[in-house]
Amino acid sequence: MAERTVAVASRVGLHARPAMLFTQAVAATGVPVTIATAGGAPVDASSILFVMSLGIPHGAEVTLAADGPDADRALDELVGLLATDLDAPEGDAGATS
């Protein structure tokens, strides 16, 4: 099983729009992926309800896990997504204030 740990960069954490974008990306990978907070039980990362129920704030570290032949590729893509501020206005994802 492949695993990756990443800090959530979205300024509102994984709530509302960032959670939607993340869970859609998980579903698009075609790989079963789980997400967990430190000490928490892993949940299905393709479920917006499960992801939002974790209450993951900005800067919190999460662990993604997946199994299968495309697990490493899928996790690399998802880590890149979580390391981006998904709540930033279009075209402003890399800008700082």
Strand segments (E) across the chain: 2-7, 33-37, 43-44, 61-66
95, amino acid identity: A
Whether 58 is catalytic: no
Catalytic residue among 2, 12, 15, 63: 15
Q: How many CB atoms lie within 10 A of CB 88?
A: 15
Distance CA 73, CA 31 (A): 10
User: CA Rg, the chain, in Å?
Assistant: 12
Catalytic residues: 15
